């Protein structure tokens, strides 16, 4: 019965997706002359109109349906849209959402806030879209965090999260208490799926990821994480890309999982002591807050720092291909998403989603 409902929803979602309205494209490439490294021939063709109606949005996600999810932070809601820009559903009973991911079972995971006994806590919620018949209005968010001893440490904050091909969820946590080796505030927590007797899955805490330093300002640190994204499929099954804000020297990093007969740990995919590619070049970014991947493995980074290009593109070797933007194009680009040759940029200053066709992908 559950499978029949799933198939019905998939068909229904496809119909909604393909019947959306068409868009208009401008014909001029975006450039403000600030690009310092035109390492490719990509031009970004703006698509109009931009989509607005948000209030200080902080995160954008291209779902697996594919639908677009926006953390509309100061409107206290999560918005579901199709790729034609139509709002399909809204989750309004959630406070200050700032980050979102989706597993392959189509559950959403959202970082937001939770109030109890006069105290506000950073929190993580799960939303089962299938049980809600894909209506966010009908969904009941289930709070995963905080729990237990977390209520004694109100300054803990959840900053970023991502889902892997096996439906494991990584959650980056931060806070001021990093003296307890067994329970650092700055860490990456892992949740894994446990199958119940009725065929549904629960999330079970599997501890924190090993060998990630809580306080370092160098490579493989949990200090200042602002965004994470994993890879599709299992080619890099435990790898993820993350961005950092604050004093970290390497503000975009590729965490690469290595297993040997002696140890299992995360290392940097790009070791600057061996090859200083632009992806890990110190000071290339200001304070990046968004990252996504395209099907070719290219990496897109959003950086709201006004002194930078705003949107960066790198290939899977860490080489910078093309970056663009600046204050003439964006006001505060905080997030990026990619689908079907289109780059979606969430601008918290403009309260809009701006779209760009990549010219090298145009048919």
Give dist(CA 275, CA 135) in Å, integer.
48
Mean pLDDT of 292-312: 91
Phi, psi of 334 (to 5 degrees): -110, -15
Structural domain harbouring 63 = 2-361
- Residue 287 reports pLDDT greater than 80: yes
Q: In total, how many domains does the chain have? A: 1
- Residue 32 reports pLDDT greater than 60: no
Per-residue pLDDT tens over the stretch 125-176: 999 999 999 999 999 999 999 988 889 999 999 999 999 999 999 999 999 9
Global confidence as pTM: 0.90
Its sign, for the CA torsion 147, 140, 126, 97, is: negative
Q: What is the CA radius of gyration of the chain?
A: 20
- Residue 8 reports pLDDT greater than 50: no
Give dist(CA 195, CA 201) in Å, integer.
4
Q: What DSSP string runs through 281-336?
A: -TTS-SS--EEEE-TT--EEEE---TTS-EEEEE-TTS-EEEEEE-TTT-S-EEEE
The average confidence (pLDDT) of the chain is 88
Q: Output the pLDDT for position 3.
A: 46
Q: 223 and 216 in contact (C-beta within 8 Å)? A: yes
- Return the higher-pLDDT residue of 36 and 268: 268
* Preceding peptide of 276 cis, ω within 30°: no
- Residue 107 reports pLDDT greater than 70: yes
Q: What DSSP string runs through 75-140?
A: GTEEEEE-TTS-EEEEE-S-EEEEEEEE-TT-EEEEEEEEEETTEEEEEEEEEETTTTTT-GGG--
Q: What DSSP string runs through 183-217?
A: S-SSEEEEEEEEE-TTS-EEEEEEEEPTT-BSS-S
pLDDT band of residue 199 (cuts 50, 70, 90) is confident
Q: Output the pLDDT for position 165.
A: 93
What CATH number is given to the structural domain containing 32? Answer: 2.120.10.30
- Residue 29 reports pLDDT greater than 70: no
Q: Output the pLDDT for position 4.
A: 43
Mean pLDDT of 109-133: 96
Q: What DSSP string runs through 166-190?
A: TS-EEEEEE-S----TTS-SSEEEE
- Residue 114 reports pLDDT greater than 90: yes
- Residue 317 reports pLDDT greater than 60: yes
Q: Output the pLDDT for position 13.
A: 52
Q: Output the pLDDT for position 41.
A: 56
Pick from 162, 164, 123, 126: nearest CA to 145: 123
Q: Output the pLDDT for position 244.
A: 97
Phi, psi of 340 (to 5 degrees): 50, 55
**Three-class SS of residue 4?**
helix
Q: Output the pLDDT for position 110.
A: 98
């Amino acid at each position: 019965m559950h499978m029949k409902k799933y198939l019905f929803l998939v068909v229904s979602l496809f119909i909604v997706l393909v019947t959306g309205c068409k868009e208009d494209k401008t014909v001029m490439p975006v450039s403000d002359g600030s690009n310092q490294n035109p390492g490719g021939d990509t031009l970004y063709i703006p698509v109009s109109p931009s989509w607005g109606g948000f209030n200080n949005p902080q995160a954008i996600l291209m779902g697996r349906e594919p639908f677009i999810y926006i953390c509309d932070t100061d409107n206290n809601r999560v918005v579901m849209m199709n790729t034609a820009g139509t709002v399909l559903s809204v989750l309004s009973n959630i406070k200050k959402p700032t980050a979102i991911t989706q597993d392959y079972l189509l559950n959403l995971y959202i970082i937001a806030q939770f109030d109890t006994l006069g105290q506000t806590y950073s929190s993580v919620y799960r939303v089962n879209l299938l049980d809600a018949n894909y209506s966010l209005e009908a969904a009941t968010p289930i709070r995963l965090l905080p729990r237990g001893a977390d209520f004694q440490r109100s300054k803990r904050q959840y900053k970023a999260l991502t889902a892997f091909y096996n439906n494991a969820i990584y959650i980056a946590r931060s806070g001021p208490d990093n003296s307890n080796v067994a329970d650092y505030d700055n860490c990456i927590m892992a949740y894994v799926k446990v199958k119940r007797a009725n065929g549904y899955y629960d999330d079970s805490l599997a501890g924190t990821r090993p060998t990630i330093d809580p306080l370092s300002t160098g490579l493989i640190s949990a200090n200042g994480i602002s965004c994470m994204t994993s890879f599709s499929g299992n080619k890099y099954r435990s790898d993820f890309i993350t961005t950092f804000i604050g004093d970290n020297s390497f503000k975009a990093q590729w965490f690469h999982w290595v297993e040997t007969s002696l140890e299992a740990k995360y290392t940097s995919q790009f070791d600057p002591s061996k090859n200083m590619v632009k992806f890990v070049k110190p000071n290339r970014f200001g304070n990046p807050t968004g990252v996504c991947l395209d099907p070719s493995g290219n990496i897109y980074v959003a950086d709201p720092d006004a002194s930078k290009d705003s949107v960066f593109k790198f290939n899977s070797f860490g080489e910078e291909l093309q970056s663009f933007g600046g204050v003439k194009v964006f006001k505060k680009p905080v997030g990026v998403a990619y689908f079907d040759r289109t780059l979606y940029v969430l601008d918290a200053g403009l309260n809009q989603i701006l779209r760009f066709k990549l010219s090298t992908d145009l048919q």
